[in-house]
């Protein structure tokens, strides 16, 4: 293994240590660089910068590998549940039966919202985006449920309180936005079945729990549960590094996820496919627009900072399309457009040269649509899934002796020194 790297700057040779991870990833440790040379590194978007050591999620972007605590995503999607995967991410171990039972009991016990939190919904603008409501509600939890940072058992309850209530908040936001009566969580239902029931049960047509849809929702949230140092997780780590309470830290993660380049892409994909369908654009026209650097059109759901091959989650999500659509007896024209787009893009030199493949968002919107989830809630669904990942990353960050408050440097490119000009002399 290479033990160190040599850097020659201004005629001075600097030896920098090399760090190697458990899967052979290597990094040059530059923590002494500025002190030794006065230089900093420059890496907008952090494409070449490691911000931490982490034992939570491993990704290999070239081989399309994704593992949570060492377990391949394919095995978790097939055998696990979202509650069990959340336990795995946060604690580092798969739960025993007793631990899983206790987790499920807490998730149920914590599912109701504080009655006073409902005032948020009554006073929010009726057409507010659910991500804005969710970010505000999670931040407000700090005022309703002060966490006791120094008691591990209390913090474990805080994690489960967050995971439980985010689901109730999402379903309640949907019910109130549609003018329907709010459906409360049921103690006899598991996490995912409870969410579907809170979303779709109503006084006219009682909702019938469908095991295939419950399984599909478990898989959907397992696939979204963590993804190492993505944009929203980095936001959680940066905000958390200032010792902010966990509720406000998670609220920052929700806000970061909202953007169409990140978690908002699933909604953007469906909007794109819907536009193509409505305007009768051909696949050829779409591919040409996506390749045209003068055209703002992007093939949403394609490309990834890390994956330079097919996103392993997209493969599983694509299979889920067939399961959910056939279960719901839906023939979705947007799925056909998505499949034609994928086929055309994967055989086009532009996409091949730039290693642009479908990511998790390309097919996830089709699955959510088939489940009956409204489009403006797609990113909320992503947030519910990602919450255990944000919690596990925050927990690792605050416990890491190497971590300090995040405070990057910059290269200043503004005016050199100049004097103040009194307003009467400004012309």
Q: Mind giving me the DSSP string for 370-393?
A: HHT--GGGHHHHHHHHHHHHHHHH
State the Cα–Cα distance between residues 259 and 141, nearest whole angstrom: 23
The phi, psi pair for 228, rounded to 5°, reads: 45, -135
Residue 385 near residue 220 (C-beta atoms within 8 A): yes
Number of H helices, E strands in the chain: 18, 6
Name the residue nearer to ligand SDX (CB basis): 218 or 233. 233
Give me the least distance between CB of 136 and ligand SDX, in Å please.
22
b/e burial code for range 161-192 (CB count within 10 A of at least 16 → b): bbbbbbbbbbbbbbbbbeeeeebbbeeebbbb
Q: Site residues (CB under 6 A) for ligand SDX?
A: 45, 227, 230-231, 261-262, 265, 290, 293, 298-306, 354, 356, 359-361
Clarify whether 43 is annotated catalytic: no
Catalytic annotation, pick one of 201, 311, 332, 361: 361
Name the residue nearer to ligand SDX (CB basis): 227 or 318. 227
Contacts of 67 (CB under 8 A, 6+ apart): 57, 58, 59, 73
Name the residue nearer to ligand SDX (CB basis): 176 or 300. 300
Give me the least distance between CB of 265 and ligand SDX, in Å please.
3
Name the residue nearer to ligand SDX (CB basis): 57 or 197. 57
Name the residue nearer to ligand SDX (CB basis): 332 or 361. 361
Q: Distance between terminal CA atoms of the chain?
A: 65
Clarify whether 292 is annotated catalytic: no
Ramachandran region, residue 247 (left: φ > 0; alpha: ψ -120 to 50; beta: rest): alpha
Give me the least distance between CB of 220 and ligand SDX, in Å please.
12
Q: In what order do the strands lie in the sheet with 57-60?
A: 57-60, 65-68, 71-72
State the Cα–Cα distance between residues 424 and 427, nearest whole angstrom: 7
Give me the least distance between CB of 386 and ligand SDX, in Å please.
7
Give me the least distance between CB of 263 and ligand SDX, in Å please.
6
C-alpha closest to that of 397 among 256, 262, 235, 247: 235
Residue nearest to ligand SDX (CB): 303
- What is the C-alpha radius of gyration for the chain, rounded to an integer number of angstroms? 24
Give me the least distance between CB of 269 and ligand SDX, in Å please.
7
Ramachandran region, residue 412 (left: φ > 0; alpha: ψ -120 to 50; beta: rest): beta
Give me the least distance between CB of 298 and ligand SDX, in Å please.
4
Q: Hey, CA dihedral for 138, 140, 145, 148, is it positive or negative?
A: positive
Name the residue nearer to ligand SDX (CB basis): 175 or 304. 304
Residue 162 near residue 175 (C-beta atoms within 8 A): no
Catalytic annotation, pick one of 224, 226, 304, 397: 304
Name the residue nearer to ligand SDX (CB basis): 147 or 361. 361
Catalytic residues: 304, 361
């Amino acid at each position: 293994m290479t033990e160190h790297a040599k850097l020659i700057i201004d005629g001075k040779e600097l030896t920098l240590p090399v760090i190697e991870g458990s899967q052979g990833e290597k990094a040059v440790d530059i923590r002494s660089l500025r002190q030794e040379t006065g230089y900093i590194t420059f890496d907008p978007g952090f494409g070449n910068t490691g911000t931490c050591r982490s034992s939570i999620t491993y990704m290999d972007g070239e081989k399309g590998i994704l593992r949570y605590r060492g377990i391949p995503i394919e095995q978790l999607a097939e055998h696990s549940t979202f509650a069990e995967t959340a336990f795995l991410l946060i604690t580092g171990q798969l739960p025993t039966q007793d631990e899983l039972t206790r987790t499920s009991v807490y998730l149920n016990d914590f599912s109701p919202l504080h009655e006073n939190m409902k005032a948020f919904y009554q006073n929010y603008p009726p057409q507010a985006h659910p991500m804005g409501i969710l970010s505000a509600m999670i931040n407000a939890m700090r005022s309703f449920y002060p966490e006791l940072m120094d008691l591990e058992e209390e913090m474990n309850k805080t994690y489960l309180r967050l995971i439980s209530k985010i689901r109730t908040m999402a379903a309640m936001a949907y019910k109130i936005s549609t003018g329907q009566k709010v459906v409360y969580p049921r103690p006899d239902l598991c996490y995912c079945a409870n969410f579907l029931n809170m979303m779709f049960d109503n006084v006219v047509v009682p909702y019938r729990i469908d095991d295939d849809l419950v399984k599909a929702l478990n898989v959907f949230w397992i696939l979204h549960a963590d993804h190492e140092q993505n944009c929203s997780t980095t936001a959680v780590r940066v905000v958390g590094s200032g010792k902010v309470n966990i509720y406000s830290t998670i609220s920052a993660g929700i806000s970061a996820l909202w953007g169409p380049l990140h978690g908002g892409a699933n909604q953007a994909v469906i909007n794109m496919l819907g536009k193509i369908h409505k305007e009768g654009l051909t696949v050829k026209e779409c591919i040409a627009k996506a390749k045209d650097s003068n055209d703002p059109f992007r093939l949403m759901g394609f490309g990834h900072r890390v994956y330079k091959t097919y996103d392993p989650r997209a493969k599983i999500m694509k299979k889920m399309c067939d399961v959910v659509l056939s279960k719901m007896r839906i023939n979705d024209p947007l799925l056909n457009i998505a499949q034609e787009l994928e086929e055309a893009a994967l055989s086009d030199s532009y996409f091949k040269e730039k290693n642009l493949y479908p990511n998790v968002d390309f097919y996830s919107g089709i699955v959510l649509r088939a489940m009956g989830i409204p489009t403006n809630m797609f990113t909320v669904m992503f947030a519910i899934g990602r919450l255990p990942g944000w919690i596990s990353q925050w927990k690792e960050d605050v416990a890491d002796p190497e971590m300090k408050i995040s405070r990057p440097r910059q290269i200043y490119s503004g005016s050199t020194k100049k004097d103040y000009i009194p307003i009467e002399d400004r012309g």
